[in-house]
Structure 1
């Protein structure tokens, strides 16, 4: 390999080839996320809540918001899983920086779940309290 060759072959791909390989990489990311019990639980909730968003939402904006906060929880969980994987790659020993990174990622997941819960409770209240 010469010094002009990129370390990551994805960087040299163009057009549909790049899109295809990026899609395959994303599928691998979903597989990695699926190995986490928390992500599987969130996917199970999404299987129920995403169709439910079309029933609970009274306008397209409400439906979109209800669906978006469910997807947001899964996005944040995948990011948290990535943070944890990167920290674990550095080493198995305990370190305060590693703990802080994992704790902050976990807090982000918690906040996304609180946001999702709040939006859904408000929408359900609006729909059924009349």
Structure 2
């Protein structure tokens, strides 16, 4: 059985994919408070990254670590939505999947915090 939504190719496929991506970003921003907070963190931190970063590599690491947080948060939200779509019933596997996705967000936040702390230490402490 083939998927009727997979028939697009070329530029049409790219345009539709871009539309789906923008819809996903819009849904995450309007429906997920953690994603909104992380977007605003990125917006506020972007000029700080250009000021704090000593060279383009460090600036890219500072900003890239925050983008990684957004990416992982989107994946977490997708997992939560898929599980909620199946059932709101409490189930060990559903809890496990949601907890694992949440742990991934935590690890991405810790990684980002570590990168920012190292850049601050290099600039001001050491």
- Give the TM-score of the pair, scaled to structure 1: 0.92
Provide the C-alpha distance between the structure 2 equivalents of 1:115 and 1:87, rounded to a whole number of angstroms.
Answer: 27
Provide the C-alpha distance between the structure 1 equivalents of 2:68 and 2:78, rounded to a whole number of angstroms.
Answer: 15
Aligned length: 125
Identify if the C-alpha distance between structure 1 residues 15 and 87 changes in structure 2 by more than 3 Å, giving closer, same or farther: same
Identify if the C-alpha distance between structure 1 residues 18 and 113 changes in structure 2 by more than 3 Å, giving closer, same or farther: same
Runs of 4+ in 1 over 3 A off after TM superposition: none
Please tell me the root mean square deviation across aligned C-alpha atoms, in Å.
Answer: 1.2
Provide the C-alpha distance between the structure 2 equivalents of 1:86 and 1:93, rounded to a whole number of angstroms.
Answer: 13
Q: 2:24 aligns with which of 29, 42, 50?
A: 29
Mapped contact 1:50–1:70 kept (Cα < 8 A)? no
Higher helix share: 2
User: Which structure 2 segments of 5+ residues have no match?
Assistant: none
Identify if the C-alpha distance between structure 1 residues 37 and 8 changes in structure 2 by more than 3 Å, giving closer, same or farther: farther
Structure 1 or 2, whichever has the larger Rg, is: 1
User: Which structure 1 segments of 5+ residues have no match?
Assistant: none
